Amino acid sequence: MKTTKGFTLIELLVVIAIIALLLAIIVPSLNTAKQMAGAAVCGSNARQIVMAWITYAEDNDALLCSPYTLTYDPVNDDYDWVEARVSKVTVEDEIFGTDPGAATGDQGIVGGALYPYYENPEAVHCPSDKRSNKPATDGSSKEGGYRTYSFVEHVGRQNNGSEYCHKISDIPSPGAKYVTVEENDCRGLNRGSWIMDRDDPSQPGLVDSFGIYHNMRSILAFADGHAEKIVWKDDRTEEYSQDWFDGTVRQKNGGYHTTTAQETGNQDLAWLYSHYPTKR
């Protein structure tokens, strides 16, 4: 009788080991590819938002909308770019303002001044931003923030300081000045605008954090309408973003802020300072 020889235990273990090795090599590459694919969609979203921002100004005597949200700037609610609440319950509430406990006139993302110019709630969300899949880190809502993008503090008509840009023409070298960023707020949604500490040009610091969702890269949109994938070169930039989201960020001068250790020699902060949009 002819017998068929099967695999030995050692042969099976060798095959399993080879498969495990291949998976260890392939999985990180797949994750990186997924992040890069998310970055492509994110870049398209950021361009939609910034082009809506430019078109809005063209339709409103060159005046920019407010970078704030309704809760932070109730006087100027007619031109806040979104009307997102400080506290939300679900993603649907953040987008459509369906929370029955919301203040009158609180319309969410679709009620913002820019929404008629892009008309797509998904445009405000980077697919690599997973905060909306779990509760807010600080426990303020059942779900984390859906809106990924925030406008920079100094571009808009809500303030009258000498450095604030009320028109695109107020921004020097618009192709080199970013106006929207991916933000990583732990408080249920990205509140207000995005700002950094610019008091000391020799050592600027971060106040608000970045959403670093694309393998040490973030998408920033610029005042001329283009978007770029910015590569962060200092690990401390990512560290601060994670600290912010975890709710463990250190405080300086009584508020959220990078520490001196995170700021000293950080070339990312130097770049952000030199490309920050202010009227000069």
Contact 88, 188 (CB under 8 A): yes
Is 175:221 a contact under the CB 8 Å cutoff?
A: no
pLDDT digits (tens, 9 = 90+) for 101-130: 655 446 789 989 999 999 999 999 999 999
Contact 94, 84 (CB under 8 A): yes
Q: C-alpha 280: how far from its chain's center? A: 26
Report the DSSP beta bridge partners of residue 198.
Answer: none
CB half-sphere exposure, 185, CA atoms < 13 A = 25
Per residue in 15-60, pLDDT (tens digit) is 888 888 877 776 665 566 666 667 899 999 999 999 999 999 999 9
pTM of the complete model: 0.84
Amino acid at 60: N
Most confident of 86-95, 102-111, 234-243: 234-243
Q: Which residue did the predictor score with more confidence, 146 or 98?
A: 146
With beta carbons less than 8 A apart as the criterion, state whether 143 and 136 touch. yes
C-alpha to C-alpha distance for 226 and 178, rounded to whole angstroms: 9
Phi, psi dihedrals of residue 174, rounded to the nearest 5°: -55, -30
CA–CA separation, 49 vs 54, rounded Å? 9
